[in-house]
Amino acid sequence: MTITWLGHSCFILESGGFRALLDPFQGIPGLPNVSGEADAVYCSHGHGDHAYTDEITLTSGKTDPFTVEEIATFHDDAGGAKRGKNTVRRFTAEGLTVVHLGDLGHLLTAEQAAAIAPCDVLLIPVGGFFTIDAPAAKQVADALGAKVVIPMHYRKGGVGYDVIAPVEKFTALYPAELVRRYPSNTLTVTKDMPRQVAVLALPQ
């Protein structure tokens, strides 16, 4: 399975030629709006920086290899009173489970963590302000026990909202030997990957 980061919280999961697009965005400083083709689109919530589907063309005819499970959470720490609901999704294919946390805004309850875990790869917001911040993200990642943790929803230089933190606030919480910075925005994941925090490059 390959995971491609398009920036912000947007990823393409690809298995057997089937492309699932997660949280396509518009209006992110330093990034073009997400456009192109996908076999399926999933949005964690209805905000434009996570649910911009106007420039996405859905293709058809391919067999969907993904089993998808949804877990209800919130975009804030006030039961949704500030920013509404958020959907966490578990995507399983090729014997691997990838979890996309969307704009999670709170620590997980024991029941939510049990519904989400186990997972092999965790796509987790770390920038704070609109979502959990770096320390809370570390706590969530530890609770879910993912082998590969891929941070998202952070600022990098002039890319991303200026009110959210850079990824280094998150990676600094891990031993340096666990942090791997990749030169590409695409990562091929396998069952035998070593435990790591995988920082993907921004798309060129």
- Average pLDDT over the chain, rounded to an integer: 93
Average pLDDT over residues 196-203: 95
Mean pLDDT over residues 126-132, rounded? 91
| Mean pLDDT confidence for 165-185 | 97
Residue 111's CB is within 10 A of a number of other CB atoms, namely 9
Q: What is the mean pLDDT of residues 171-190?
A: 97
Q: Determine the pLDDT at residue 65.
A: 95
Question: How high is the pLDDT of residue 48?
Answer: 73
Task: Assess if residue 63 is contained within a domain.
Answer: yes
**Mean pLDDT to the nearest integer, 1-13:** 96
pLDDT of residue 37: 95
Q: Is residue 204 part of a domain?
A: no
Q: Is 19 helix (H, G, I), strand (E, B) or coil?
A: strand
For 23-171, list the strands marked E by DSSP: 36-38, 40-42, 56-58, 67-74, 85-93, 96-100, 121-125, 148-152
pLDDT, position 77: 74
Residue 166 burial (CB count, 10 A): 16
Residue 84: per-residue pLDDT = 65
Region 49-66 average pLDDT:
90
Residue 39 has pLDDT above 70, yes or no: yes
Q: What is the mean pLDDT of residues 111-130?
A: 94
The burial class, CB within 10 Å (0-12 / 13-18 / 19+), for 137 is buried
Cα dihedral 79, 85, 131, 121 sign: positive
**pTM of the predicted protein model:** 0.95
Structural domains of the chain, count:
1
Q: How confident is the model at residue 158 (pLDDT cuts 50, 70, 90)?
A: confident
At residue 95, does pLDDT exceed 90? Answer: yes
Enter the tokens of residue 146. 């993912």
Q: How far apart are CA 76 and CA 82, in angstroms?
A: 6
Contacts of 52-56 spanning 24+ positions with Cβ under 8 A: 52/24, 52/25, 52/26, 52/27, 53/24, 54/26, 55/24, 56/21, 56/24
Per the structure, the complete domain to which residue 168 belongs is given by 2-199
User: For residue 29, is it within any domain?
Assistant: yes
Question: pLDDT tens, 72-82?
Answer: 997 777 677 67
Q: Is 166 contained in some domain?
A: yes
Q: Could you tell me which residue, 11 or 60, shows the higher pLDDT? A: 11
Residues of the chain with pLDDT > 90, as a percent, come to: 80
149: domain CATH number is 3.60.15.10
Has residue 135 been placed in a domain? Answer: yes
Q: Where on the phi/psi map is residue 148: left (φ > 0), alpha (ψ -120 to 50), or beta? A: beta
